A and B are shown apart, each in its own frame.
Chain A
């Protein structure tokens, strides 16, 4: 079957190239049949990619170790969920996922626009075909997922234990859906530039795709942060690592794009800005895909160049050159249709918000690429750490949250100043009360940035609540409906507006969590023996006893050995138990003894967190195996040739030895206030985005009716 899979990819590549050629031919000669043929070729390509993906998944599910990928990334004892998701844990598999998602999205958008955008769609098809062809080329030329091994091993290497966490396995598909989603508006923007149809049509057709991409990318980023918080042993959710930044940058620019296209839709302004933004978003999405798997920042986090780094760099350079060249060449067609009437308008504030978002992106880009910049400018390679990122992004983030609150209050074109003051009275007063309360009842004054952030978050939440309330009240005046019904109808008829407000509220709540958990975190690293107690903030933590479990950890990751601790946490009246542990996976390294193989493989920290709305209590343990070293070495010698069951009994005895008399273990305890609100805020933002993206039924009805009218006209004229 691997041959069939490879063949699928090869034919998919040829099909993509044909789609490019046919679409361009159709666009230039005006012959519709070539355009239709090109579009159908894209549909075929999607089918082929999906077919290849299914074949690969099947190989993983039946643990077919003749496939190099399955042998390297899975094993017979990997739980089924992780077998399925191990496909995209590898370079080759993730490229296939990218290509498959791209072809599916392209199919969707081309099907939806098959009758409209007659001039732009063929060029968009060609662009999407080129991108798909590039990824297929990468696979066929360098990283073929269907490579087979001459001799299939008995057992696979297994999935990296750190990846055995549900969040980490859903994280790549979500990110890729985000990156791929942004390629759709990009392709249509290029088509619009080429054909000089630079009105808002290409925006209207692809706006939903941009919104869906934004949602998935944001959710993917948050899943990555959640994984870092719950799976890694350092207790943080964001480290300003180049890989993390690589996914955040396109999201920031994508957020700016979502706002500024509204300005072009309504006023015909910012055309150059929008074209540049979507090209930048797509380039950053490619960069995000590329940074994870290349050696470009090889002094810091990508040791050793990968095999496709240069090719991706060349491709990205070509995309930048093409986009910039097109925009400059079409500048006359991108002139604004209107001018900015007043600084006190939605347009002006959207522009301001765009500047802040792009500014944030530039700061992050500077810091991420600083090793290369400093090497180029000064000859020595230097890097900046999280403190620098925090220091520079915090003021911009604070301004951003403030703008998030002002934007919803404004109207398009202009706002009457007196009305503005009246509308802002309640939110400003509420914010004032909030500040006073914070200063009086908490120690928020310790950190000025946090105080500002909290105040602005309060401002945003009151503004959004007020918008919903005033809108519902206005509707009730007109229709006399009940409060809940009026609210539902109001949101239903104005999904973009009220979905957007909901998303704003979600983002504000998210920043609340970020500010509180960064500024007021309490952390302690200690070594404890059973019976010891330590104070962390207001909490008293007691190490009651050690635990040892064989064959099946509670997290479902398939770890053979799990050593941990039972900890009692007390504060005032409340008291609960936490059970952090450490999973030990075996290694196939032949240089290790038969018993030490089980203790010297990969190990992961299984953190235990007590979630709470006000604060989280996070606990991780790192058992010290020093007292077991000699017994393990002795066991290696004595039981080197013993059968598996004997070895299992020996290992059980060793872990029992640890449990009964453990040496002091290293613990990290963290009290993070309001961390849970980060996840809650993110979920609210996603919900808001979904509301905004949902197609409204009336528009659909009218579209169907107008299609019938068109068909009637067509048929009448033919008769």
Chain B
């Protein structure tokens, strides 16, 4: 096999591998992704990753469960959340959090260990998630 033909084959193989990788990326990511939403945008029966602020005075603990309300960053409509799992250190009322889960009958049931809290400092972000 002459060298230029060898090189063309190698190039074709590399391109094929790249196309393969790209399609795997696209397919797996779009099917596994969870939609980001604000508390005011939640709809029943669909899983979301909700971003919002913890409403003051809404934090309560019932056994292993953590309950609080989450509202839009610049809004007042809030949604109740029940959560089990690790609670990040910076978690407290008024802080911005992200939590994944599904809205069921008006209550947002969060996935285990999906709570992430942002620390209030401007650029150093601390978070915990699993």
Contacts and interface: CB of A to CB of B under 8 A. Distances in A.
Interface of A: 89-91, 94, 160, 162-163, 232-234, 236, 239, 241, 243, 292-293, 299-303, 306, 339-340, 355, 359, 362-363, 366-367, 370-371, 374, 378, 380-388, 391-392, 525, 527, 600, 602-605, 622, 624, 626, 666, 668
A293 B32 CA distance: 28
Contact of B33 (A233, A241, A384, A624): A384
Contacts of B98: 300-301
B80 interface: no
B124 A163 contact: yes
B126 A162 contact: yes
Contact of B89 (A236, A306, A380, A602): A602
15 contacts: A89-B124, A160-B119, A234-B130, A355-B17, A359-B21, A363-B25, A367-B29, A370-B33, A381-B36, A382-B34, A384-B29, A384-B32, A388-B32, A525-B86, A602-B90
Nearest to A378: B30
A668 B3 contact: no
B29 A388 contact: yes
B89 A233 contact: yes
Interface string B10-36: 000010010001001100111011111
B52 to A, nearest CB: 10
Contacts of B64: 525, 527, 666
Nearest to A242: B125
What size tier do the contact residues of chain B reach? 35 or more
Interface in B106-120: 113, 116, 118-119
B64 to A, nearest CB: 6
A668 B130 CA distance: 13
Contacts of B42: none
A701 B98 CA distance: 60
A374 B89 contact: no
B20 to A, nearest CB: 10
Interface of B: 3, 7, 14, 17, 21, 24-25, 28-30, 32-36, 49, 51, 61, 63-64, 73, 84-90, 92, 96, 98, 100, 113, 116, 118-119, 121-130
Nearest to A228: B128
B125 A160 contact: no
Nearest to B63: A527
Contact of B123 (A293, A340, A367): A293
Contacts of B127: 239, 241, 301
Given A90-B123, A160-B126, 4 more contacts: A91-B122, A306-B122, A367-B29, A388-B32
Interface pairs A-B: 7 shortest CB-CB:
A382-B33, A293-B123, A381-B36, A234-B128, A162-B126, A91-B123, A382-B35
A622 B87 contact: yes
Contacts of B119: 160, 162
A388 B92 CA distance: 29
A232 B129 CA distance: 10
Interface-central residue, B49, B61, B84, B121, by most chain A CB under 10 Å: B121
A668 B29 contact: no
Nearest to B38: A299
Contacts of A91: 122-123
A219 to B, nearest CB: 19
Contact of B61 (A239, A371, A624): A624
Interface-central residue, B90, B92, B126, by most chain A CB under 10 Å: B126
A78 B24 CA distance: 50
B89 A603 contact: yes
A370 B29 contact: yes
A233 B118 contact: no
Contacts of B84: 525
Contacts of B28: 388, 391-392
A92 to B, nearest CB: 10
Contacts of A236: 130
Contacts of A392: 24-25, 28
A625 B30 CA distance: 43
B89 A239 contact: no
Given A91-B122, A301-B118, A362 B90 contact: no
Given A359-B21, A626-B61, A232 B89 contact: yes
A180 B21 CA distance: 31
A233 B128 contact: yes
